[in-house]
Amino acid sequence: MRLKAVFFLFLFAISWSVNGQKGHLGPIQLSGVVVTQEKGQPVKMPYVTIAVEGTSRGTYTNWDGFFSLVVEKGETIVFSYVGYKTVRYQIPDTLTTNRYSVFQIMTFDNILLPETIIYPWPDKDNYHAEFLAMDVNSDISDRIQENLNKRVIASLYDKIPVDGNESTQSFMRQNAATYYYQGQTKPIQLMNVMAWKQFIEAWKSGKFKRKPKEE
């Protein structure tokens, strides 16, 4: 009799465990695509921020607008992107599977401001009078002439380092020159008439002269 009671308790425990597992799905793998509309056609949106509200969990869409995130039933997902309306989506409580997909459309959040025209003077006549009354002394004039001096500009050109844009352009030009002759022998410029022409013109213009040392 005691053995039968233990057996029935064992069956009851197994049944309760299985039903409990069916009722609680656990983490849900949420995936989907985020798009917007341009001229009536869907356009993929990369780098859209996707966060689970009230938590530190989140992700962002890839270049194709796709994302994947682990969530729980009932949690609120927040889609946000600069210039677009923020969207909140709640995971349904009635899910019966641990995988769920969404197709989210983002809409523009444009705010039109009234046109503002800023004038330095109230009217054209006032500007004309102020311009004629401007005091341009000799010190300012001399400073302008000095700043526009070719020698000063050339000196600054040699001393100031290039910025990121110039470095990128130089790198791209070098790569283009390398790839132009890739897979073949680079021609010898000794018999190139145009190269000789450029050399003679540069020689006549004094580009090969030794520059005087600055004191």
pLDDT tens-digit series, residues 166-190: 777 777 777 777 766 666 677 777 7
Q: Is 63 exposed, middle or buried (0-12, 13-18, 19+ CB in 10 A)?
A: exposed
Within 8 A by CB and 6+ apart from 146, the residues are 152
pLDDT, tens digit, 9 for 90 and up, residues 6-17: 444 444 444 444
Highest mean pLDDT among 69-78, 123-132, 162-171, 203-212: 69-78
- Residue 8, pLDDT score: 46
Structural contact between residues 85 and 107, judged by C-beta atoms closer than 8 angstroms: yes
pLDDT at 24: 56
Q: Give residue 183's pLDDT.
A: 65
DSSP annotation of 10 reads H
Q: Which residue is listed with tokens 């302008």?
A: 144
Rounded distance between C-alpha atoms, residue 54 and residue 60, angstroms: 17
What would the two tokens of residue 20 be?
Answer: 């409990």
Rounded to two decimals, the pTM is 0.44
CB within 8 Å of 105: residues ≥ 6 apart: 34, 35, 36, 37, 42
Note the pLDDT tens digit of each residue in 123-145.
778 878 877 777 767 777 788 78
Contact 78, 102 (CB under 8 A): no
For the cut 80, the answer to whether the pLDDT of residue 101 exceeds it is: yes
Q: Cα dist. 164→98, 169, 173 in Å?
A: 48, 9, 14
Amino acid making up residue 164: G
Closest to 106 in 3D by CA, of 126, 142, 128, 81: 81
Residue type at position 150: K
